Amino acid sequence: ANSEVAAGTQIFFATLTTASSCATRTRIAMPANSEVAAKKKVFRKNKAPKKARVAFKAHKKGGVVRQKARVRTSVQFRRPKTLALPRAPKYARHTVQVPNKRDQYRILRFPLTTESAMKKIEDHNTLVFIVDTRANKRSIRDAVKKLYEIRALNVNTL
């Protein structure tokens, strides 16, 4: 089984299957100058990237290969852009979805009932409301439509 192999030969292991469907591992000695060995060497040589091959040659040679210094055109240092991966959270930070806090009940707070507001209601057919400070005219119009089922012609804010 373990016999001497002549110098200049390569050893390959081949898996052979027999009729009894048992895989056996057989040692095959082939001369180093055979076609298979030559193909393998060419394949390995071409597989290595160019940069790695250059580095290997320099290492073999023994000389130190220095990279050429870059010419800077600006005095400010600009940090190079690196890979920015998208966030991939392991768990949800909020367990319950927060409902919309600015619904029609929060936008229209209460109707104004001062003398001047009552006069506007009677004379100009205009309703006056105290509204949320963050509400815009569109949201006020939608809130009035949902709550009172009336269409506002225009919305004036102060």
Under the banding of pLDDT at 50, 70 and 90, the label for residue 65 is: low
Give the H/E segment covering residue 15: strand 9-17
pLDDT digits (tens, 9 = 90+) for 94-105: 888 888 888 999
Compare 158 and 1 and report the one with higher pLDDT: 158
Residues 84-88, mean pLDDT to the nearest whole number:
95
CA angle 111, 114, 115 (to 5 degrees): 135
50: helix, strand or coil: helix
Q: Percent helix, strand, coil in the chain (nearest 5)?
A: 30, 15, 50
63 neighbors 55 (Cβ within 8 angstroms): no
